[in-house]
A and B are shown apart, each in its own frame.
Chain A
């Protein structure tokens, strides 16, 4: 099972610029669905790629679903040449997203993010409206129920006066 706290601690303590999106962000906003992996949009500056590669090195990142023994090393070059990576690590499954469907680069999402205290860490999450937009843009049939739940969550949040 994914150790979310450890993954977030490694990223945060490594001073990686990232924004949590996907199911885990939905949980942070109050969704009742379960999620098994951590999805982050990461900054693509050379400095951040270095920080990301260094931070994840201790977690032995490997391509999820790839055959064992396939040569793979997640270093700065690998990150620069790729964009989105679905990884398995010693702390669980982690998706690194350079650009989410709907135009979600780190720089584009930053103004639509918010910082929340989680496990004593300051973690940056995409805001609820933008999360809904990203999930709508992904256009996956499996997300329809989840988008509906997020929209109802937003209605309930606004009704309760949290905004």
Chain B
């Protein structure tokens, strides 16, 4: 296994995150015009809400949404009785 230097930070929920940062990722990514075109359609309020959650809360929320989607997918029309 590679050896790494360990550093830590906290997210907005106060959760501790341990980074193994021998070669930290570059801070910038070259802008891609195609990807930039999609950005105005991103709902930032959802992301801001998620950033305030811990990792477990983010995953738990996603799983709950998956379960709901699954229930909707399995739903059938209710007979009107007529």
Chain A residues engaging chain B, CB cutoff 8 angstroms: 1, 4, 17, 24, 27-28, 30-32, 34-36, 43, 107, 110-119, 127, 129-130, 132-133, 136, 144-145, 147-149, 151-153, 156-157, 160-163
CB distance from B47 to the nearest CB of A (A): 5
User: B4 contacts the other chain (Cβ, under 8 Å)?
Assistant: yes
Main secondary structure of the interface of A (DSSP, over half): helix
B residues near A114, Cβ cutoff 8 Å: 17-20
B residues near A116, Cβ cutoff 8 Å: 15, 17-18, 55
Chain B: residues with Cβ within 8 Å of the partner, total of 49
CB distance from B14 to the nearest CB of A (A): 10
A93 to B22, CA, bound (A): 32
Q: How many inter-chain contacts with C-beta < 8 Å in the A-B complex?
A: 123
User: B72 contacts the other chain (Cβ, under 8 Å)?
Assistant: no
Add 8 more A-B contacts to A112-B25, A152-B47 (CB < 8 A): A32-B43, A111-B21, A111-B23, A114-B18, A116-B18, A117-B16, A129-B25, A156-B48
Question: What 1/0 flags go to B29-49 for Cβ under 8 Å of A?
Answer: 100101110110111101110
Chain B residues engaging chain A, CB cutoff 8 angstroms: 1-2, 4, 9-12, 15-27, 29, 32, 34-36, 38-39, 41-44, 46-48, 50-51, 53-56, 58-59, 62-63, 65-67, 69-70
B15 in contact with A136 (CB, 8 Å): no
B residues near A130, Cβ cutoff 8 Å: 25
Which chain B residue shows the least CB distance to A143?
A: B35
